[in-house]
């Protein structure tokens, strides 16, 4: 158990819909990262937040957005869903400035039909 | 980000040591070498990291070449639970920098 909690674990929805994925980081971790893993793209970095502020941005589509709340949990919003958005979405958190080890959740599996 | 090169796949027999290589010829002086692994249907998990000296922990050992252009992750006695994709990643280690994953090495353990 990494201590990072992601909900929901599985989600099935239709094209054009909008979903929200939630991540609770390990207690005290200030950084949250979102990754997308699809069969043909591997693990792709989407976005990082540190203590409520956006820290780094990767290949995140404009239809996707994220935020980190004052209690440090984060949400990834995916809108106007397309078939190609079907993937595993992982959240990770880190807190130690000396090691920077990332702790990953078990992921949210999104299926767009 | 500096790139790493790993074999796509490797096989090893159960209860034997496994040496997973990684080349990183463009590594900079501030890059740490991190290894993560991803077991089937799970999120990646941290294995080990190092800068210049060899490192050991309860999961594995990391051997770093003197010129730092390559490294080897060593699993001393592989078990079936070690079957996973292993990622070698270069990362500036301070300030919670993101990890950039490559394609990794898929390790198969033969019973």
Answer for the pair B21, B7: CB distance below 8 angstroms, yes or no.
yes
Select the residue from A10, A104, A106, A108 to test the B interface by mutation, using most B Cβ atoms within 10 A.
A104
Quick one: what percent of chain B has pLDDT higher than 70? 95
Q: Which residue of B has its CA nearest to A98?
A: B94
Percent of chain B past pLDDT 90, that is, above it, reads 81
Alpha-carbon distances of A8 from A44, A90, A92, A112, B106, rounded to whole Å:
20, 11, 15, 14, 28
- The structure tokens listed for A44 are 């792709």
**Ranges A79-88, B64-73, B86-95: which has the least confidence:** B86-95
pLDDT in tens, A15-62: 999 999 999 999 989 999 999 999 877 899 999 999 999 999 998 999
Residues 6+ apart with CB under 8 A from A20: A75, A76, A77, A78
Nearest to B96 among A2, A90, A100 (CB): A100
Whether A100 sits inside 8 A of B94 (CB atoms) is: yes
Taking alpha carbons only, the member of B21, B29, B102 closest to residue B67 is B29
* A34 CB-near residues (< 8 Å, 6+ apart): A23, A45, A46, A47, A48, A60, A66, A74, A76, A89, A90, A91
């Amino acid at each position: 158990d990494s201590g990072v909690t992601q909900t929901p674990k599985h989600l099935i929805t239709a094209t054009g819909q909008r979903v929200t994925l939630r991540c609770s980081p390990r207690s005290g971790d200030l950084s949250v990262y979102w990754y997308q893993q699809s069969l043909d793209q591997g693990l792709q970095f989407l976005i990082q937040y540190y203590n409520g502020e956006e820290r780094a941005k990767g290949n995140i589509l404009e239809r996707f957005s994220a935020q980190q709340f004052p209690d440090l949990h984060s949400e990834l919003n995916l809108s106007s869903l397309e078939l190609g958005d079907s993937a595993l979405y992982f959240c990770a958190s880190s807190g130690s400035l000396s090691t920077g080890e990332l702790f990953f959740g078990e992921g949210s599996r999104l299926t767009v039909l | 980000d500096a790139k790493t090169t790993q074999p796509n796949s490797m096989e090893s027999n159960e209860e034997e040591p496994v040496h997973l290589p990684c080349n990183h010829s463009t590594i900079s002086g501030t890059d740490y070498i991190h290894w993560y692994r991803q077991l089937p249907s799970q999120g990646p998990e941290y294995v080990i990291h190092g800068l210049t000296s060899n490192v050991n922990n309860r999961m594995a050992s990391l051997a770093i070449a003197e010129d730092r252009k390559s490294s080897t992750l060593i699993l001393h006695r592989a078990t079936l639970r070690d079957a996973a994709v292993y990622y070698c990643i270069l990362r500036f280690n301070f300030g919670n920098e993101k990890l950039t994953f490559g394609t990794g090495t898929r390790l198969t353990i033969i019973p």
